[in-house]
């Protein structure tokens, strides 16, 4: 690795952008990584993703969730190059500024590759899955290739994060119908997807309602995400089976009330 690809140092966010994130629940940060930096890391992320998905079921045989993307989690623990990307100070510094905290920890990463012809990602709230305070959690979503909306860009329900938990339904056609009705009822404005360059990133709160369209192009929508939480959070009592599973998987050995501190959740930034 050369110093040019270290993703070191903080990336400063303007006060205006911090305010926008806090009122809207999502923020686009353009040029967070340069194209040569993405080019350095993307092959390792794609190769690690492929290693885990050699036996993927054909698209047509999957359910709505399975059609949405190839999803592989915590690649940073498998591959040193991916770890340098996921644990990068530059990315974590943005998460910390938006949450208004000194330090964040990694909850987990996930590669979300929406295949050509891949289906839509139904409306959902991420923090429904997490035994943590969703207001103190944030996801960075970064395309590794230039994307246009028809590849499956994210749509956000602006301001929905402020309402906290709005459903207990896992990502499915049921969550889609639930949030379609709720968005119409509460009148949230929708922030439609925009073209993004590889290395641009969006950040969204744990409670922001969001979805993605299908990928109607011939190009893989290669996206890497990192989920962070504010250092100092305590583990919450799980309120559904998804949170019980997440507690076992991503906060290994911890119980409700414990500080969310394990070697699988390093401080970054």
Please count the residues of the chain.
269
Rounded to whole angstroms, the Cα distance separating 68 from 215 reads: 9
213 in contact with ligand AKG (CB under 6 A): no
Identified binder of ligand AKG from the candidate list 81, 175, 215, 225, rule CB under 6 A? 225
223 in contact with ligand AKG (CB under 6 A): yes
Of the two residues 126 and 200, which places its CB atom closer to ligand AKG in the complex? 126
151 in contact with ligand AKG (CB under 6 A): no
Joined tokens for residue 119: 């289906």
In what helix (H) or strand (E) does residue 244 lie, and over which residues does it extend?
helix 241-250
Joined tokens for residue 84: 């340098």
Supply the minimum distance, in Å, between the C-beta of residue 186 and ligand AKG: 20
207 in contact with ligand AKG (CB under 6 A): no
* Best CA proximity match to 226, nearest among 98, 100, 137, 103: 137
Supply the minimum distance, in Å, between the C-beta of residue 227 and ligand AKG: 8
91 in contact with ligand AKG (CB under 6 A): no
CA distances 17 to 9, 20, 28, 164, 228, Å, are 19, 5, 9, 21, 18
126 in contact with ligand AKG (CB under 6 A): yes
Joined tokens for residue 267: 């401080």
Number of residues forming the site for ligand AKG (CB under 6 A): 13
Of the two residues 44 and 226, which places its CB atom closer to ligand AKG in the complex? 226
Of the two residues 5 and 154, which places its CB atom closer to ligand AKG in the complex? 154
Rounded to whole angstroms, the Cα distance separating 109 from 194 reads: 23
Of the two residues 6 and 120, which places its CB atom closer to ligand AKG in the complex? 120
Joined tokens for residue 164: 């906290």
Identified binder of ligand AKG from the candidate list 21, 41, 69, 129, rule CB under 6 A? 69
Rounded to whole angstroms, the Cα distance separating 98 from 230 reads: 10
Supply the minimum distance, in Å, between the C-beta of residue 93 and ligand AKG: 19
DSSP string over 146-159: -B-GGGT-EEEETT
246 in contact with ligand AKG (CB under 6 A): no
176 in contact with ligand AKG (CB under 6 A): no
In 18-136 the beta strands, taken as DSSP E runs, fall at 26-29, 70-73, 104-114, 121-124
212 in contact with ligand AKG (CB under 6 A): yes
Q: Which parts of this chain interact with ligand AKG (CB under 6 A)? A: 68-69, 112, 114, 121, 126, 139, 141, 152, 210, 212, 223, 225
């Amino acid at each position: 690795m050369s110093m040019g690809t270290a993703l070191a140092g903080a990336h400063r966010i303007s006060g205006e952008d911090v305010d926008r994130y806090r009122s809207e629940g999502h923020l686009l940060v353009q040029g967070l990584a340069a194209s040569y930096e993405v080019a350095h890391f993307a092959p390792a992320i794609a190769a690690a993703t492929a290693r885990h998905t050699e036996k993927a079921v054909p698209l047509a045989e999957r359910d709505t969730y399975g059609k949405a993307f190839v999803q592989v989690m915590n690649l940073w623990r498998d591959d040193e190059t991916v770890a340098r990307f996921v644990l990068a100070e530059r990315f974590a510094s943005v998460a910390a500024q938006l949450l208004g905290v000194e330090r964040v920890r990694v909850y987990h990463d996930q590669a979300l590759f929406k295949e050509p012809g891949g289906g839509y990602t139904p409306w959902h709230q991420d923090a429904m899955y997490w035994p943590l305070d969703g207001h103190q959690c944030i996801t960075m979503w970064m395309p590794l290739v230039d994307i246009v909306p028809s590849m499956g860009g994210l749509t956000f329900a602006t301001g929905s994060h402020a309402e906290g938990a709005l459903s207990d339904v896992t990502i499915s056609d049921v969550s889609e119908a639930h949030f379609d009705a709720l968005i119409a009822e509460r009148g949230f404005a929708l922030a439609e997807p925009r073209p993004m360059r590889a290395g641009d990133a969006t950040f969204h709160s744990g409670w922001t309602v969001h979805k993605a369209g299908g990928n109607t192009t011939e190009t893989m929508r290669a996206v890497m995400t990192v989920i962070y939480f504010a250092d100092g959070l305590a583990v919450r009592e799980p309120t559904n089976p998804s949170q019980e599973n997440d507690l076992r998987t991503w906060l290994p050995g911890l119980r409700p009330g414990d500080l969310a501190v394990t070697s699988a959740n390093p401080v970054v930034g």
